[in-house]
Amino acid sequence: MRVVLGVGGGIAAYKAAELARALQDRGCSVQVVMTEAARQFVQPLTFAALTGHKVITGLWASEQAAASETLSSAVEHINVALENEVLVVAPATADLLASMAHGLAGDFLTTLYLAFTGPIVLAPAMNTNMWNHPATRANVATLRARGHVIVEPGEGYLACGMTGPGRLAEPAVIAEATLGAGRRSGTRRDLEGETVVVTAGPTAEPLDPVRFITNRSSGKMGFALAEAASKRGGRVILISGPVSLPDPNGVEVIHVNTAREMRTAVLDHLNEATIIIKSAAVADYHVATVPAQKIKKTAARLSLELDPTPDILAEVGQKKGDRLLIGFAAETDNLVEEARRKLKTKNCDMIVGNWVNRENVGFESDDNEVTLVSRIGETIEIPRASKREIADQIFDHALLLRLALHASAT
């Protein structure tokens, strides 16, 4: 894989040398681009010696260069953008994040950013107060919304003397995120020939003609899974409860409201499916008898009789045959224990456990952090990332799991 490593101007720039080595150890060819500020912390010769490639430090050739060389330098950012597969910026300073978010192109790295069409990985590093500033948070949100991978900074003692979030993530973590972004951007079609059924969103169980029981699920995780499966070549049937999301391109979408409607849709398509992912947050209870008229408000206490809704996951688990079945467990405590229990009682091949009581992940968020518990005894933690990125990682592990299950059965 051909990687451009952009190095911003911060004390963490020295760690970019470790990142260059980590990427090379993973089989990558690395082209380094440094900002003028980065050169105050690390010399270009360091990266040239490590990578064996020329280090780019500016848009223009030296005054002594011939006219042809000057022209070559002036368009070099286009060549670099075309010749490489992934752009990773580490450290991504507050200034770089702001320039990228607002489309400013004042040096080679930010100009390259605008010309680059491949996946982009950003590893921020800065003072804690700078990281927490609303302007920085808004810029990060903008960049994340463009589909860029944000490798969150760690917490600890910083060079400025403060303690808190802002230190550059470990080079190995950034390297793995870079490789993952590169793999997912390719023409990988590892779900060709598969029919993937995904459920998403909440269900809405009526109390009367105008009221209903529901939950906070936005459907974003399920929609991300459907989009990922489609991009990887699968035929995708997305069965969605009521959400405020546009239908993904290239996906067959079935809209339902209640748990019973979702059960019917899932069972209707069970025979077609080779992979089933139940990410919907199905309501656990519904009103046994829904009145035909609106319930009038009175001063008296209102009691409702609620019956359990169908356990769709358990029913599919009984009928799944050799299909790969993946369920979700949304928990507020004992996540791994509950995921393992659900794996066994519902006869799943994998459970994706996610917290629903943590800020900025889970319900309604664009990000998630999950733990995968599989039939072969694996427990895999996937740190916070965009739901689209996590969707691809779920499929990565699911396909490996199926290979392992087939191997153990033969």
Catalytic positions are 160
SS3 call for 69: helix
Whole-number Å distance between alpha carbons of 93 and 12: 10
Whole-number Å distance between alpha carbons of 16 and 8: 9
Is residue 366 packed enough to be buried (19+ CB in 10 Å), middle (13-18) or exposed (0-12)?
middle
Q: What is the DSSP string of 101-127?
A: HTT---SHHHHHHHH--S-EEEEE---
Q: Where are the beta strands (DSSP E) in 185-257?
A: 195-200, 205-206, 212-213, 235-240, 252-255
Contacts of 297 (CB under 8 A, 6+ apart): none
Contacts of 161 (CB under 8 A, 6+ apart): none
Contact 135, 102 (CB under 8 A): no
Contacts of 249 (CB under 8 A, 6+ apart): 227, 230
Q: Which two tokens stand for residue 163?
A: 């303690």
